[in-house]
Amino acid sequence: MNNHLRNTMLITIKKPYFEPEVKNSVENLQTRFEWFMKWKDSDLDFTKNCIFIDEAGFHINMRLNWARSKSGKKAIVKQPQTRAPTHTIIGAIRSSSIIHVAKKLLKELKHSDILSVVWKYADIFSEKTAYGFGKWCNSRKLCLTESGIKRKFNDLQQKASVRSLYVLKDEYIDNVIEDIVNHLPRYQKFIQSLKDEGYHVIGYARKSHAKKMMTHAFLARFSPLFTVYANESLLERDLNKQEHILSQIHADGDMQDMLVYISSLERVCIVAIDFVGLTTNCEDLKVFLKNNPNIDKLASCDASHVYDTQELLNDSDKIKVFDCRKKALQRSK
């Protein structure tokens, strides 16, 4: 049989390549056809005026799928338990060349260089010197202080203390500042609109196992969660009380407190920082929503996503947006 498969049918055993079932479904093929028909009569020319953009994710735990060992022994590779953000590389290319698409540059900056940019957009440090600004950054342990200081000669052959930092290109700074300034009013308007519609808005944040905790001020009841992973069961979280942490972060309660509170309300909307801030376990989320039918909506903090819970329960594809932590894609070798 093996010889027949290999030599006659030309079928061999190899490592499988997994692809989504819907990749070449009738619906997706129809969507691609509609895209093609939309653009075929335009001035779109793949050889002259098109740019192709792709992204590749990677993280520090990427590893080979194969390893060597002595015959008869397992190929055991020991690795430390680590956790780090997933990074994404964006690449762009056209028919004639590769395109540089970086939004930030690596520069060696003095505190005075950073302060001069701050002065353009805010007056909070108008009376501070570069030395005072540097002390302020260090006392608050800003991320930029994690880059060590080194001494080097400037153009005038004078020694200066600089940090190597990735900074935005000048053309992007205005848009970032505008988004920062407008985010809070936009968010407040979003929360108020939910209240005006008669919803009880509950803010929720999950405390991960990371060493640092990011807090966020919600305009409604804030119910945090401590030291759990994003895919852990919602209903089983915080079974062990941690009252001392509640007092430290000025929260109204943990997950179990929130469940009791929700049970006494109608038309509840839970607002999380993002999907990961709530859960990435889609099946468990279904159970949670079924057990709490008075939760009508789930929303993200930036108001970019608002979902009716019945919509999530009835549409298996839509609820998959919560499974938003994907492993890095395997690229062709």
| 227 — pLDDT class (breaks 50, 70, 90) | low
Q: Which domain holds residue 251?
A: 182-322
Q: Averaged over 217-236, what is the pLDDT?
A: 59
- Point out the least confidently predicted range of 18-32, 213-227, 230-244, 276-290: 213-227
- 69 within some domain: no
pLDDT value of position 180: 83
Amino acid (one-letter) located at 307: Y
Strand 295-300 with 306-308, pairing: antiparallel
Structure letter (DSSP) for residue 227: S
Q: How many domains does the chain have?
A: 3
pLDDT digits (tens, 9 = 90+) for 132-190: 998 999 898 888 888 888 888 777 777 888 998 888 888 888 988 888 888 888 888 88
Is the pLDDT at 329 greater than 50? The verdict is no
| 196 — pLDDT class (breaks 50, 70, 90) | very high
Length of the chain: 333
Q: At a CB cut-off of 8 Å and minimum separation 6, what does 258 contact?
A: 202, 204, 223
Residue 110 and residue 91 in one domain: no
Residue 136 and residue 221 in one domain: no
| 255 — pLDDT class (breaks 50, 70, 90) | confident
**Cα–Cα distance between 100 and 39 in angstroms, integer?**
26
- 277 within some domain: yes
- 120 within some domain: yes
**Cα–Cα distance between 212 and 115 in angstroms, integer?**
26
**Cα–Cα distance between 32 and 15 in angstroms, integer?**
29
- 1 within some domain: no
Closest CA to 251 of 221, 211, 206: 221
Residue 186 and residue 303 in one domain: yes
- 282 within some domain: yes
Is the pLDDT at 53 greater than 60? The verdict is yes
- Point out the least confidently predicted range of 13-22, 74-83, 219-228, 307-316: 219-228
Is 219 within 8 Å of 191 (Cβ atoms)? yes
- 241 within some domain: yes
Cα Rg of the chain, angstroms: 26
Report pTM: 0.53
**Phi-psi region at 18: left, alpha or beta (left = phi > 0; alpha = psi -120 to 50):** beta
- 193 within some domain: yes
Amino acid (one-letter) located at 12: T
